Amino acid sequence: MLKRLFRKIAPAPRLVHIPVGCPPLQHYPGYLPEDTDLVSRYACGQAAVKEDHYIDGFGVRTDFTCVPFVNPACLDIERLQLPLPDDGFHAEGIEYAALLDAFDNRKAKGRFTAVEVGSGWGPWIGLAGVLANTHGADALCLIGAEASAERYALMCRHLERNGLTSESGRMIKAFHGAIWTHDGEVQFPDSNVEDMGPAVNAQGSKTDYRGHRVTTVATPCVRLSTLCEGAGLIDFLHIDVQGSELDLLHNDAEWLGHNVRAMMVATHSRVIEGGIMDLLGEAGWVLKREKPCRFQMDDNPRETWEGLTQADGSQHWISPNL
C-alpha cells in the first residue's frame, strides 16, 4: 500500500545543493529546486548576531534566552541569512520552504492564519507574523500551543519581542497546554527548558519514549479543532509533538481536511511517517515536500522507534479541499 501511495503522491525526488563529489542519491534536502528562489525573495533583510539576540534574514528577532540550547558564538551568519539547507542549529530548509510557500500563495489576499502546535518558543508563528508585518498581510491570526510552562513563557516573550501582540490589532492566541485527543488534562514531563524533546505521557510512565526518567505534572489539553475555534480557515499549520503526530491527525482528520490549507508535520519515526502517508494520502491530501527522519541503532535499549530518532523528518501536505 505504501509503495503504491508513495508513487501516487510523491514523485521521484529532485535534488538541489549537491556538494562536490557527493553521489546524488546520498544527498536529499527535501525541498524543491525552485525553493532557493522562494526563500531568497523573502530573506531580504540583514542577518546579525547581537549581544542578547540574533536577527535572521527574514527580520525575526530571537532573544538568546528563548533558545538556551544555542551557543551564540557558534551561529553561522550565512545560514541565518539564507537557511538552506538549514539554519545551522534549529530547522531545515524544507520547513522554511513550506511556510513561505503557504504565505506566498495567500499574501495577495491580505490575510494569513498560522498555527503552531508544540511551539517551543514559537519560531514558526513568529516568522509568519514578521512576514505578515513586512509584506502587508494586515489581517493576521497566530495561534501557538506549548505544554511546558517555561517554554510557553518563552513563546509569549518571543511574540512580544517581534511586535506580535493582541494589542497590535491582530488575533494572537497563546495556549499553555498540550494538544491531544480530548479536551481535559494529561500528564506532561516537568523537564529542563533546554530539553526540546518531552512528550505527553499518556500512560503515566516513569520513563519517557527516550528512556529518560521523568516526573510529570497535570497539564491542560485540548483537541486541535478546539484550539483553533474562531480562527477561520488556517493557511499554515506546523505540528511538532514528539511522536504523537499520527494520533492527533487521526483524531481530527475530517476537521483538518475542511479547515487547513497546508501543514508541515515534524515526524519522529519511519512507522509514523508511513501511517501519516496512508491516512492523508487516502484522504486526497497532496504530499508536496518530504524528508524522512534520521535514526541510529545503538546498544542502549529504547522502548520505541521514536526513542532512536536523532533528527526529525518533515512532511509538507496540501489540502485537496481548499
The b/e string for 119-132 (b: 16+ C-beta within 10 A; e otherwise) is: bbbbbbbbbbbbbb
- Please check whether residue 238 lies inside any domain of the structure: yes
Question: Domain count of the chain?
Answer: 1
| Cell output for 34 | 525552485
Which strand (E) or helix (H) includes residue 128? helix 123-135
- Please check whether residue 286 lies inside any domain of the structure: yes
Q: Could you list the residue range(s) of the whole structural domain that residue 142 is in?
A: 2-11+109-318
Domain with residue 229: its CATH number is 3.40.50.150
- Please check whether residue 243 lies inside any domain of the structure: yes
pLDDT string in tens for the chain (322-residue length): 322 233 333 333 343 455 566 666 667 788 899 999 999 999 999 999 999 999 999 999 999 999 988 899 999 999 999 999 999 988 999 999 999 999 999 987 889 999 999 999 999 999 999 999 999 888 899 999 998 889 999 999 999 999 998 876 789 999 999 988 889 998 776 766 665 556 555 666 665 555 566 677 788 999 999 999 999 999 999 999 987 899 999 999 999 999 999 999 999 888 899 999 999 999 999 999 999 988 777 666 566 765 666 678 999 999 988 8
- Please check whether residue 83 lies inside any domain of the structure: no
- Please check whether residue 253 lies inside any domain of the structure: yes
Which strand (E) or helix (H) includes residue 288? strand 286-291
- Give the 3-state DSSP-derived string for 63-107, with helices as H, strands as E and coil as C: EHHHCCCCCHHHCCHHHHHCCCCECCCCCEHHHHHHHHHHHHHHH
C-alpha separations of 60 from 31, 122, 132, 188, 242 in Å: 22, 11, 12, 30, 25
